[in-house]
Structure 1
Amino acid sequence: MLASLALLLGLPLALAAEPPSCAPLVPVTFDNATIPGLLGQWIYIAGASRYPPHLEELKSVKHAAFSFSPSSHEDELNVTEIMRLNETCVVKNTSKILVFWHNSTLAHVDDQVASTAKLIQSDKDLLILKHLNTNFLTLSLSARMPNVSKEVLEDFKAHLHCLGFTEEEIFFTSEKDACPLPGEKMGKDDVEPPLG
């Protein structure tokens, strides 16, 4: 989730005026099908940021998978994350997603730190989040499968370019860096990397 929901792009909202060739990012207005459609496993694919603390995090995330599950509270989802930060695999299941129906936003709360995001309209197997902050925004792409089509990647990169990001400011993860699920063995030597 660090890699998928808490990332904030450093682009002043004043740059919201896009060139005419850029399609606008259309947020989803939540309905009864929205949140059930988010449940289950997601793979973090890419993101971009100019917000310094989150830019460093983007650089260190090599792979991330996360899942949303129902909580005992109606407007809350549980989050489990498995990610590789540089060479270390980390498993976290202590964060929550708060659902705000009145303005169709999601808030990721982790260790008393919250980041807010709008879900962007896209294919049901894609999760595009526009992360918000008072002065910054972020765009991240996750998918149900570890590989997305070239067209999906090109569309995502085009949105980022429209927001003023260069190719060098877009960070992608790699399936080859995936961490094993807890209890799963890695390869021929059956060595499991440390989970911290």
Structure 2
Amino acid sequence: MLATLAFLLGLPLALAAELPACTPLVPVTFDNDTIPGLLGQWFYITGASKYPPHLAELKEVKYATFSFSPGSHKDELNVTETMRLNETCVVRNTSKILVFWHNSTLAHVDDQAFSTATLIQSHKDLLILSFLNNDFPGLSLSSRTPNVSKEHLEEFKAHLHCLGFTEEETFFTSEKDACPLPGEKTGEGDAEPKLE
């Protein structure tokens, strides 16, 4: 009887030890170094969203890179995106990132959508964005390199789990689906990306 009681009392502690602890996402408070630190090229790695328009796009994106460059004023960044949407490579350079210093948020604006996000504290070579879309959670991971360490990926997956996402709701890109550079032919019938 005593052994059974000890087992039952210890069971909640054992179960709690197996579940990952949910640490809150910590947004970055913008300072003079934040935006310059975002400039340059990024590789989109993975993302998940409950927001229907974002979810539809996540299912289509097989590979993506993007770069930020200074806009016409300090509250704006220009964005150039190269992505494979299903079987088509597309280059977009018509969107902007608006910087809202007063509440440390970013807004991606193009002719198709408007979305707002906070930058989450992480490693300097990672870009984690938490999307703010009508109470639909969304999180994305980009990196300065096409691959991220197993530790960083596991940390990101833990954040997704804490937000209620399953593995089936998480969409990854693949280097094998990279778009050819402008003027480059792959030999597989892929011409250079079309400009949108």
Relative to the length of structure 2, the TM-score reads 0.85
Instruction: Give the secondary-structure state (helix, strand or coil) at the position aligned to 1:161.
Output: helix
Structure 1 counterpart of 2:54: 54
Give the unaligned 5+ runs of structure 2.
1-18
Write the distance in 2 (CA, Å) between the matches of 1:80 and 1:194.
Answer: 13
Structure 1: tracts of 5 or more residues without a match: 1-18
* Structure with the higher fraction of residues in helix conformation: 2
RCO comparison, higher one (Cα < 8 Å, 6+) = 1
Which position in structure 2 is the counterpart of 1:36? Answer: 36
1:71-118: CA deviation from partner (whole Å, max 9, x where unpaired): 122210000000000000000000000000000000000116311000
Separation of aligned partners in 2, 1:166 and 1:109 = 28
CA contact (8 A) 1:91 1:195 kept: yes
Pairs within 5 Å for 1:111-126: 111=111, 113-126=113-126
- Any residues of structure 2 matched to 1:1-196 within 5 Å, and which? 21-111=21-111, 113-186=113-186, 192-196=191-195
The aligned amino acid for 2:194 is L
SS in 2 for 1:103: coil
Q: 1:182 to 1:20 in 2, by over 3 A?
A: closer
Q: Pairwise CA RMSD of aligned residues? A: 1.8
- Name the stretch that deviates more: 98-107 or 174-183: 174-183
- Aligned 8 A contact 2:181 2:192 in 1: no
Q: 2:170 and 2:104 mapped to 1: Cα distance?
A: 26
Contact 2:80 2:93 in 1 (8 A): yes
